[in-house]
Amino acid sequence: MAVARLDQGRVHVGAGLSLAFPEPGKMRFIQTKIEGAWVIEPTPHEDDRGHFFRAWCSKEFSDHGIPFQPVQANMGFSIRKGTVRGMHFQVEPALEAKLVRCTRGAMFDVVLDVRTDSATYGKWHAVELTPENGRMLFLPERCAHGYQTLEDHTEMHYMTSQFYGPDDARGARFDDPAFDIRWPLPVSVISEQDLNWPLSTGRQA
């Protein structure tokens, strides 16, 4: 990945990414091509016992201009490699931002921009999350989230800025040609709900 320029502790790189170098022990925030969506990497402290890293810090998020105050944490477990879940989001009055990580196995995690007023409407960004790399994906409000498991027995954990509201839950089809998400594996398992989200007919959120 080519480096474009370095200023004030931030390296600007290609493919719509901007990388901020942290102080020792802090998290590394990588801005994606989707406005408001970030990949967040740990900077582990390692010794002969193992390692330790920070997985959440409200001050560090605030320092990067990311408004996120989690109110709920959830976990999901998928038995089979190739399982797809998504693409999910909530509408007003229950708009939610999410912070997603993988705690077992591996997953291809996707943020999809479904915001009416966004210059990147219909665009998506994906990152591989594993317990070993410790990465997290932050999704702003009004962006859809989904993932595919890359290993059997994959577990994920995510925090949200809003409580789950079943009446406010919406979805985008994982295979909608308008979005053309490139899932890495054939789909092995998917729910009826996720199969039956309507195809896009215009701007949704």
* 68-195 topology per CATH: Jelly Rolls (2.60.120)
Torsions phi, psi of 87, nearest 5? Answer: -100, 125
Which token pair is 21? 């170098």
Q: How much is the pTM? A: 0.84
Would you list the domain boundaries of the chain?
68-195
Active site residue 88: yes
What is the structure's pLDDT at 41? 94
Q: What is the pLDDT of residues 2-51, one digit of tens each?
A: 333 334 444 444 555 555 545 556 899 999 999 999 999 988 887 888 87
CB 105 within 8 A of CB 155: yes
Query: Which position among 88, 121, 125, 145 bears the catalytic label?
Result: 88
DSSP string, 28-88: EEEE-SSTT-EEEE---EEETTEEE-----HHHHHHTT------EEEEEEESSTTBEEEEE
| 158 annotated active-site | yes
Which of 51, 125, 158, 164 is catalytic? The answer is 158
Tens digit of pLDDT for each residue in 113-151? 999 899 999 999 999 999 999 999 999 999 999 999 999
Q: What is the mean pLDDT of residues 83-88?
A: 98
Quick: pLDDT tens for 94-106: 999 999 999 999 9
Q: Which residues contact 150 (CB under 8 A, 6 or more apart)?
A: 81, 105, 106, 107, 108, 128, 184, 185
Half-sphere exposure of 125 (CA within 13 A, CB side): 22
